[in-house]
Amino acid sequence: MTSDFLEYQAQTTPHPLAMEVSHAEGCYVYDTNNKAYLDFVAGVSACSLGHRHPKVVKAIKDQVDKYMHVMVYGEYIQQPAVELAKLLAKHLPKSLECTYLVNSGTEAIEGALKLARRATGRSQIIAAHHAYHGNTMGSMSVMGYEERKQAFRPLIPDVDFIAFNNKEHLNQITPKTAAVILETIQGGAGFIEPHDNYLTKVRTRCDEVGALLILDEIQPGIGRTGKLFGFEHYNCVPDILVTGKGLGGGMPIGAFTSSKSMMHTLQDFPKLGHITTFGGHPVIAAAALATVKEITESDLMAKALEKEQLFRKHLVHPLITEIRGRGLMLAAMTPSAETANQLILKAQNRGLILFWLLFEPKAIRLTPPLTITNAEIIEGCQVITSILDEIPF
């Protein structure tokens, strides 16, 4: 199958990891030789409950037995989507009560950017250097990494950039600004947390000039940092919250959430301000509903913080210079891109799935399922340190 994969399926890089997957269960992925791989990546932060969590699988099967796609988003009343939006509202502040369900993280960002322009009547969007918000034209326009977007210009106009965590740059947010868009924790940049009340200060500046604050929680959201939403750590509530990845429990989803009055601006003058055929798909929404229920009704979030400490305890090595991030959104920093590459490739040979971050080549992504056990964490950390022992420094 490898040659057909390379021949017929579009590739994203010249060097895919090319594991031939047979099946996956819990925190393990199995290849077609039935070799088990312990998963420290969770489909890049998407499989929050691991692979084929029984409650997610049951919700999907039950829904498939009732109906699948019946109508474009927004016309018919479909229980899974309604219940999911209601459950999110239950766990969010009142100002974030209304959710638009879409198909991917990047589409949710597109929706959030459109909503911000529509609701404010302004056009300028301010994003952060080294930000990643997705790969469609709008999301790419707010990507803070010129090398990856240069070839696709011209992108959408009136986008400016500030440095994340730099308070001096906040005066660039002015009455012309429709919205500031930030990741609550910068992912691709290397799992950079906001420092010294940075997000609170961004919030204050936005309020001063009437700009909206969009927080992209596609990666940190839905329990990964030990709270349901990352912003709960930083004393800052956004005007528009964007989620995706882990929300779907392994199924493709995105969502943007705001106040009801703001979201209403998309429904008239003009009508159909954002439309999607498959957004809110009943099978996907059923999987997401089961996922959010499980995460909020179990001790998985509290345990994520204990598991973070276990990673920190067992990943002590001269070639690990720092561990960044929070909960189970962690990045182990190595001295060089070469060290990180060797570690990721050798780990795959030894049955441990690791992966890169987008813009920080020295980092190793550690974003396992929230359901990972302590024993599995210790086992994987031992694989990492034993590989590092073999790398000269």
Among 218, 251, 330, 383, binds ligand PLP (CB under 6 A): 218
Nearest residue to ligand PLP, using CB? 105
CB of residue 84 vs ligand PLP: minimum separation in angstroms?
17
Q: Is 345 left (phi over 0), alpha (psi -120 to 50) or beta?
A: alpha
Among 73, 132, 191, 311, binds ligand PLP (CB under 6 A): 132
User: Can residue 183 be called a binding residue for ligand PLP (CB under 6 A)?
Assistant: yes
CB of residue 106 vs ligand PLP: minimum separation in angstroms?
3
3-state secondary structure of 326: strand
CB of residue 105 vs ligand PLP: minimum separation in angstroms?
2
CA gap 103, 93 in Å, rounded: 24
- The torsion defined by the Cα of 301, 305, 308 and 312, in degrees rounded to 10, comes to -170
CB of residue 121 vs ligand PLP: minimum separation in angstroms?
26
CA gap 179, 198 in Å, rounded: 16
3-state secondary structure of 30: strand
CB of residue 250 vs ligand PLP: minimum separation in angstroms?
13
Neighbours of 169 (CB within 10 A): 18
Residues of span 107-126 touching ligand PLP by CB under 6 A: 109
DSSP for 207-230 reads: HHHT-EEEEE-TTTTTTTTSSSSG
Among 39, 216, 294, 376, binds ligand PLP (CB under 6 A): 216
CB-nearer residue toward ligand PLP: 179 or 388: 179
Instruction: Identify each DSSP E strand in 32-184 by its residue range.
Output: 36-39, 98-102, 124-128, 159-162, 177-183
* Residues 264-303, mask of contacts with ligand PLP (x by CB under 6 A): ----------------------------------------
Neighbours of 6 (CB within 10 A): 12
User: Can residue 244 be called a binding residue for ligand PLP (CB under 6 A)?
Assistant: yes
282 touches 81 (CB < 8 A): yes
CA gap 245, 254 in Å, rounded: 7
* Residues 71-110, mask of contacts with ligand PLP (x by CB under 6 A): ---------------------------------xxx--x-
User: Can residue 219 be called a binding residue for ligand PLP (CB under 6 A)?
Assistant: yes
Neighbours of 296 (CB within 10 A): 15
User: Can residue 133 be called a binding residue for ligand PLP (CB under 6 A)?
Assistant: yes
CB of residue 17 vs ligand PLP: minimum separation in angstroms?
16
Point out which residues bind ligand PLP (CB under 6 A). Answer: 104-106, 109, 132-134, 183, 187, 216, 218-219, 244, 254
